[in-house]
Structure 1
Amino acid sequence: MTDQQQKNNETADQMFHGVPLNDIPNLFQAPPTLKDMQDINDVGHTFMIKPFKYDPSNPNLEPEPIHGMGNYFDIWNDDHVHLPCSPFNVMVYSAEERAQFISIILSKMISLALDVGNICSQPPPLLRIGTHRSVTMSQRQAASLLACAFFCLFPHQFNDQISNQHQTYQSINFIHLFRSGSPWKLEKLKCILHYFRRICEDMPKGVLTFRRFALPDVWIPKWTESQKPLCKIHLRKDTTIEDMHGLLQVDFANEFIVRSLQGGGVMNEGIVQEEIRFTICTEMLVSVLICEVMLSNECIFLIGCEQYVTYAGYADTFKAKDNFIDKTPKDSWGRKLSHVVAMDAINYLNPLNQYTIESMSRELIKAYTCFRIPKSMENFMFGVATGKWGCGAFNGDAQLKGMSYQ
């Protein structure tokens, strides 16, 4: 023990009662004499390293793994940790794909997240309740924001004008998606990781727009006075909404975009129409970050978002499939001519409630909010691709909803 250490101990002794600290046995005074590792015959002691002896003259000497570096001996039972590299583990990727992800893609994702300030150059604005506002960004900026979400870096967004008990923003962080759960969570994660692989290999150069629209009360039609005829309608069963190119495609949203019932949503267990669309068109997830909860006279437009992967199945049969090259043409801003509108239906716990004037009026206003043609677009009208909006978990009547669309 050095003189300085002894002096420090004596000073410390003056602050306590009892025997001086120097009278207490100290490990440094008489280090224990240990058997060499190779001489230990204790079945209850497992060495993960080869026999090793510390040499003070060579402090940088590092222990070697018990089976040598680069050699893996698998044990999969109740007495050992189940390592992710075990052949008994459920693998999302092959060894080659895992190596590529760890060595190349993950590092690029980290760079995208760390460089978010330079890539975005300013925070994107929030699309708040009651506003008619848009934000346009590059696909690289969206990728940087999504990389931050992947690493769960975003603080929770609050609306200071509303009590914390009734928050109107949700978290975009991927933490719930990473937690164990149903097999289809793994399939969703495969789609999202495929997106990151694609953009890390070849960053898309396009543009995206997220637009919130709130219908003013004075614009609500007087339905009983309307003389407009019903629109043309085309019905079919052999296709999906996302395959109806050149039309305004409907996203069957929750009032909180991509958050469904019973803790679902794309970031958790949900995997029906909206969650599937946001999974295969991953850039749509940016709307979760910037959009506040929707009111009955509001909708959110997602313009230019690209599809990166195909899928099979629905709900608990959902499976990620193949790489998808989205050949949708672009407008003069560089956005894919893909226009999606997020519209939320009423959740009817009692299905009979949907036949009231109040409920039917609400759904009519929501549909009109989403489908009305702005004066600036009257010469560029296009149809709407939709399905049984609000007729699944929300217990809607498909025929009644069909009249709302008309």
Structure 2
Amino acid sequence: MENREDLNSILPYLPLVIRSSSLYWPPRVVEALKAMSEGPSHSRVDSGEVLWQAISDMRRSLSFSTLQPSASHGYAFLFDELIDEKESKRWFDEIIPALARLLLQFPSLLEMHFQNADNIVSGIKTGLRLLDSQQPGIVFLSQELIGALLTCSFFCLFPDDNRGAKHLPVINFDHLFASLYESYSQSQESKIRCIMHYFERFCSCVPIGTVSFERKILPAEYHNSSTAAPDADFWSKSDVSLCAFKVHSFGLIEDQPDNALEVDFANKYLGGGSLSRGCVQEEIRFMINPELIAGMLFLPRMDDNEAIEIVGAERFSCYTGYASSFRFAGEYIDKKAMDPFKRRRTRIVAIDALCAPKMRHFKDICLLREINKALCGFLNCSKSWQHQNIFIDEGDKEIQLARNDRDSGLLRTETTALHGTPLNDVEINREKPANNLIRAFYVEGVHCEDNEDDGVATGNWGCGVFGGDPELKATIQWLAASQTRRPFISYYTFGVEALQNLDQVTKWIISHKWTVGDLWNMMLEYSAQRLYKQTSLGFFSWLLPSLATTNKAVQPP
């Protein structure tokens, strides 16, 4: 165990110690957890106040720093005042002991995880580790192990002094509970109730599925180029057809009926304000699918050419409202089917937009940043290879990848013989894509379900509190989805007035068979006019008057 690179990379961020090739809790923590596992008659943990004392004692035995001062009041406020006496008693009689028993199993669960990590996909590292910036990779975690990790968060048992240096988001729940006390709101209480419901469900029936967390990076190796993403010329010359565009004035991304990639309007720090006061799109998703929180443990902030894709997170809660009106609305039974890896067929991609761009939004460099961010998020490796001939011969393990003239330009390979070597050992020509795309193709395209129907379900990404332009953001996402050969984009407008003509505009553009390059060039022309104050119209209003008068005025350049 001591020689595992993956374990050594994550161990400084875990509360366990390693000795003689085994993982352990320190003795005093074991003593405290055993007492709690036997109920309040042994542990005396029968209130929020005493629970916090037990948490603080365990942290002291681990030599960890003190937490948010108001967190103690938050735990006491929730369990001793907010919830009724019957519910509180159930938590201290049943849920807390069950969670303590789960934590006692945590070392063995983690050891089992590392024992199995090398066997999930041949030649692909899948073990829990720090997936650092510019290091593409994927981690597979069982739902049971995720439950143990989130229980560590609930008991605030993760070390936090060293997280800032690695640009990792907060992972303990002390900020969440401190915020409940410092500035109480029903929305904050509802966030915690979603998490409580998750633990109640988990303790009643331990889930048996798997969740994967992948750091995706755009190909960094281009012929005669050191850029980490496509440039403006790439987009201007793209002759890829625009995909279908479905407009939904009502409904929610997470309720989309299609087999689509669901967009998380993310903060560059995964989860954003989920574990503090935040309560908008990303934070709500992390509350109703709490297993997403596990990624906050080991995924540092995203760079401009990165995205994070999470597959298999189960949804546990219903809700109503948004932001201050958000309310927990009871149990949700997730009926999504599972793939061969036992992941639910829920694919969520986190992409972070520019914050408060204002007029910068119309600059070429900002438009490029946003479209390449969406491109990275929407990139589906099995789809990107669809215009290549793929032949797998089980006899000699030869994979032939013949370039097709209709290649998107993002991915290029030559014929390669594996002869029994793991796929990540294949020598890749320096003109070809980064290895993570090859690996992801191997994982998704060969071993997983056919993703031909995976469109993109999204909405006003980077708008709202981030202040982006809804019309430009809708267009940018359409371009990125089309370039990655997604068959459709389902766009949820949430009733934004600026998008009332979205359906009309997209239908007109599709009817005139514009390509990605055509629409990109039109957007650049419009943005230049906005930047130099030659027009004050929105993008769609800028297009529509021309559409009403003559096609010539809006023909692609």
**TM-score range for the pair, normalised by the shorter chain length:** 0.7 to 0.9
1:84-118 C-alpha deviation (Å, 9 max, x unpaired): 6999x7522x3322221111111111222232111
Size of the aligned set, in residue pairs, is 312
Map of 2:371 onto structure 1: 364
- Distance of 1:353 and 1:326 partners within structure 2: 41
- Distance of 1:341 and 1:157 partners within structure 2: 29
Cα shift at 1:218 = 3.6
Map of 1:257 onto structure 2: 270
- Shifted more, 334-343 versus 97-106: the winner is 97-106
Match of 1:96 among 86, 95, 117: 86
- Distance of 1:333 and 1:100 partners within structure 2: 35
Map of 1:313 onto structure 2: 321
**Alpha-carbon contact 1:256-1:292 (below 8 Å) kept:** yes
Map of 2:330 onto structure 1: 322
Map of 1:131 onto structure 2: 135
1:147 aligns to what SS in structure 2? Answer: helix
Q: Tell me if 1:380 matches 2:392.
A: no
Gap runs ≥5 in structure 1: 1-80, 260-264
Match of 1:204 among 204, 207, 218: 207
Map of 1:243 onto structure 2: 255
Pick closer, same or farther for the CA change 1:157–1:233 going to 2, 3 Å: farther
Match of 2:109 among 119, 127, 134: 119
1:217 aligns to what SS in structure 2? Answer: coil
- Distance of 2:235 and 2:220 partners within structure 1: 14
1:285 aligns to what SS in structure 2? Answer: helix
Cα shift at 1:157 = 6.8
1:343 aligns to what SS in structure 2? Answer: strand
Match of 2:150 among 126, 146, 150: 146
1:321 aligns to what SS in structure 2? Answer: strand
- The percent identity for this pair of structures is 33
Q: 1:31-46 to 2 correspondence within 5 Å? A: none
Q: Tell me if 1:229 matches 2:226.
A: no
**Alpha-carbon contact 1:252-1:273 (below 8 Å) kept:** yes
**Alpha-carbon contact 1:300-1:341 (below 8 Å) kept:** yes
Cα shift at 1:238 = 1.7
1:236-256 C-alpha deviation (Å, 9 max, x unpaired): 122101001421000010000
- Distance of 1:318 and 1:147 partners within structure 2: 24
Map of 1:172 onto structure 2: 171
Pick closer, same or farther for the CA change 1:333–1:84 going to 2, 3 Å: closer
1:153 aligns to what SS in structure 2? Answer: coil
1:44-88 C-alpha deviation (Å, 9 max, x unpaired): xxxxxxxxxxxxxxxxxxxxxxxxxxxxxxxxxxxxx9x96999x
What letter corresponds to residue 116 of structure 1 in structure 2?
F
**Alpha-carbon contact 1:182-1:269 (below 8 Å) kept:** no
1:23-59 C-alpha deviation (Å, 9 max, x unpaired): xxxxxxxxxxxxxxxxxxxxxxxxxxxxxxxxxxxxx
1:330-365 C-alpha deviation (Å, 9 max, x unpaired): 1111110000000000002x5111000010000011
2:268 aligns to what SS in structure 1? Answer: coil
What letter corresponds to residue 275 of structure 2 in structure 1?
M
2:376 aligns to what SS in structure 1? Answer: helix
TM-score (norm 2): 0.54
Which has the higher Rg, Structure 1 or Structure 2?
1
Match of 2:193 among 168, 190, 193: 190
What letter corresponds to residue 171 of structure 2 in structure 1?
I
What letter corresponds to residue 396 of structure 1 in structure 2?
G
- Distance of 1:214 and 1:387 partners within structure 2: 22
TM-score (norm 1): 0.73
Map of 2:294 onto structure 1: 286
Pick closer, same or farther for the CA change 1:85–1:130 going to 2, 3 Å: closer
- Distance of 1:280 and 1:153 partners within structure 2: 23
What letter corresponds to residue 256 of structure 2 in structure 1?
M
Cα shift at 1:170 = 1.9
Q: Tell me if 1:401 matches 2:473.
A: yes
Gap runs ≥5 in structure 2: 1-72, 115-126, 223-228, 386-440, 479-557
**Alpha-carbon contact 1:148-1:154 (below 8 Å) kept:** yes
Match of 2:220 among 208, 217, 220: 217
Pick closer, same or farther for the CA change 1:213–1:85 going to 2, 3 Å: closer
**Alpha-carbon contact 2:213-2:311 (below 8 Å) kept:** yes
Match of 1:266 among 263, 270, 274: 274
**Alpha-carbon contact 2:166-2:300 (below 8 Å) kept:** no
Cα shift at 1:155 = 0.8
Cα shift at 1:404 = 0.9
What letter corresponds to residue 236 of structure 1 in structure 2?
H
- Shifted more, 215-224 versus 359-368: the winner is 215-224
